[in-house]
Structure 1
Amino acid sequence: MTSNFVQNGEFRAIAAGSFETGIIEAMAEWCDALHGGTSLEDAFAHLAIGFGAEAALLVRTNMTDFRPTRIAVWDRRSASTSSPLTSSFADGCFGRPLARPRPGSIWLASTHEDDAGETPDPALANWQDRRGLTEFAALVLTGGPPVRDHIELHFTNPVPGPVQAAFAAVMPTMARTWASRQVGLVARTALSNRAPRDTGQGKGPVGGSVLGITNPARLSRAEFRVCLLLSRGRSVLGVAEELAVSESTIRSHLRSIYAKTNTSNLAELVFRLLATTQDDDLSDRNCA
């Protein structure tokens, strides 16, 4: 039995034995990356290629507001398409059933039955049409709360039997090794992944620290204090208690801070605030 996958813009068939060997090698690199032995982004790319995906996203979702944060992204055609992979589609596709998924579970869009009476978000279908893709899979690493971590894979063709079998075979190991990953790995990788996208886009401060002496984001005194406390590991509630104000007041400040710093949620803001912090300091914050 063979499985087709795209490499360097061309299709080539590989034997089942070679396919399995590629998955084993990618899994070994993935496990090594989770303990700091190699780059998580590189390991994630090799894993996506091994599965035969056209594009892939490693995502962390805050389960209180369902806002996703990209940890790592790989897209085979990122340099040649006007519609690169930039967004998470899992919640829009699978809806409420994905709110509390089982770690290690596998979700295929083609076999998902919506029994909650929800209308799927058309964003995935629209993007698939632009890219000529037909299948979407979500592989759950952690089910939350407070966060859900999962992998999203996009395919040109229906997922063949060997790939589905590979999903089932490796997901228990992937979920287990993810749970024991190196502290601070998610924060460092997300920071590294954001840096190229921020540079030169002309939307808010892209150089230097948000908390730098020149105050490049033009934060107010109250906003600056909020950012300072967040950079020291405080939660939103912790910041409110420290400043003796309501949590709603802090969230109002945050909306203004997001606009000034070109961030869209709390996770992205914290990553930006930690951008000039030493890696050793990251391990002391809740960014595992």
Structure 2
Amino acid sequence: MSIAYRRADAARFDSNSVSRLFEIVAVLSQASQGSVALVEALRRMGNLIGSNVTAICRVDLTASHDVAKVFCHESRRPVSEDAGPFEVSFARGVCGASIDTAKAGTVWRATLADIETRERLASLFRHRRLAETVVIPLQKDNGSGDFLELHFTQPVSATLLEYLEYMGPVLARCWKGRSPGMFSDSMLSRRRKLPPSPVSGAILSMENPCRLSRAEYRVCVLLSRGLNNQAVLEELSITMATLRTHLRNIYAKTDSASQPELIHKLLSTTPRHGLRREGDAYVA
């Protein structure tokens, strides 16, 4: 990971570049005051910057995980069908131990090699064939931080990096001056408009909407019956390492951030049946 400390010189930019810089700043400023929908602002910013995924993430700075409140626009569908939704922030993976002290408006960069130890981030990187991520801290307040996160399928050029270095502090000031509750209202508005998720049906139903493997399916059934991890190990005669692998895959397929969330989904949607025979077609 790296941070770009030098400040770009606006005098070196041509008129087209300056115009684009102003447009990017203007659209975020409009969104921060509610005159443009945040999703539309992110779409336009992504088009101007060239990012495949453009997101603003609210991160709990007191936690160590990457789950966050993420509002994003993705310019094209993920290459891989296994790619899950963008519901994590890359800020902690990119900024590392400096996440609490990173100055608003500074530019932080990372490639897959920098975040590969954070499995969920690396999975998103691979499934979308991303080449580089840029994170710009916008504001920190009351134990949480807001970050602009830009994900690219091509390496970030030196010219684009200069643009971002110049714009970063201005974007941070725009975000700091936003209307109260704007981000939360945008999250709620998008949630109301989202179509039902394929995971919203019974996870263990005949349709197998999450495409669980036989082993993953068995783990889910046992968890839905109230067995703890040790009991699952004994029932399936597997090691803890194998169970962790199954759980990671299940979390990704069911869009769950943790085991408690998974169990909640299982108990909310599980049909009343036992383990299916291995020959059943709906067990992938």
Name the TM-score class by shorter chain.
0.5 to 0.7
Q: What RMSD, in angstroms, separates the aligned Cα atoms of the two structures?
A: 3.6
Match of 1:272 in 2: none
1:34-183 aligned within 5 A: 34-65=32-63, 68-78=67-77, 82=81, 83=83, 85-90=85-90, 91-110=92-111, 120-183=117-180
CA change 1:165–1:39 in 2 (3 A) is: same
Letter in 2 for 1:42: E
CA change 1:113–1:176 in 2 (3 A) is: farther
Match of 2:26 in 1: 28
SS at match of 1:77: coil
* Identical columns (%): 21
CA change 1:196–1:67 in 2 (3 A) is: farther
CA-to-aligned-CA distance 1:93-122 (integer Å, 9 cap, x gap): 433221332111211015x998xxx98314
Output the CA distance in 1 between the equivalents of 2:195 and 2:157: 37
CA change 1:67–1:124 in 2 (3 A) is: closer
CA-to-aligned-CA distance 1:15-52 (integer Å, 9 cap, x gap): 96434423321221211111111112111221122111
- Give aligned pairs, total: 196
8 Å contact 1:34–1:182 — kept in the other structure? yes
CA change 1:44–1:165 in 2 (3 A) is: same
Report the alpha carbon displacement of residue 177 of structure 1 after superposing the two structures with TM.
1.6
Report the alpha carbon displacement of residue 161 of structure 1 after superposing the two structures with TM.
1.8
Match of 1:186 in 2: 183
SS at match of 1:148: strand
Letter in 1 for 2:264: A
Letter in 2 for 1:76: S
8 Å contact 1:89–1:123 — kept in the other structure? no
Structure 2 length-normalised TM: 0.58
8 Å contact 2:94–2:135 — kept in the other structure? no
Output the CA distance in 1 between the equivalents of 2:18 and 2:74: 22
CA-to-aligned-CA distance 1:119-147 (integer Å, 9 cap, x gap): 83143333323322211111110134421
Q: Which runs of 5+ in 1 are unaligned?
A: 1-14, 205-254, 263-288
Stretch of structure 1 that moved more, 74-83 or 142-151: 74-83
8 Å contact 1:30–1:43 — kept in the other structure? yes
8 Å contact 2:66–2:89 — kept in the other structure? no
8 Å contact 1:93–1:124 — kept in the other structure? no
Q: Which runs of 5+ in 2 are unaligned?
A: 1-12, 202-259, 268-284
Report the alpha carbon displacement of residue 187 of structure 1 after superposing the two structures with TM.
1.0
Asked if 1:195 is matched to 2:192, the reply is yes
SS at match of 2:200: coil
Match of 2:264 in 1: 259
CA change 1:154–1:87 in 2 (3 A) is: same
Output the CA distance in 1 between the equivalents of 2:17 and 2:79: 26
Stretch of structure 1 that moved more, 52-61 or 19-28: 19-28
SS at match of 2:134: strand
Higher RCO, 1 vs 2 (CA within 8 Å, ≥6 residues apart): 2
Structure possessing the higher radius of gyration over alpha carbons: 2
CA change 1:87–1:71 in 2 (3 A) is: closer
CA change 1:126–1:157 in 2 (3 A) is: same
Structure 1 length-normalised TM: 0.57
8 Å contact 1:93–1:121 — kept in the other structure? no
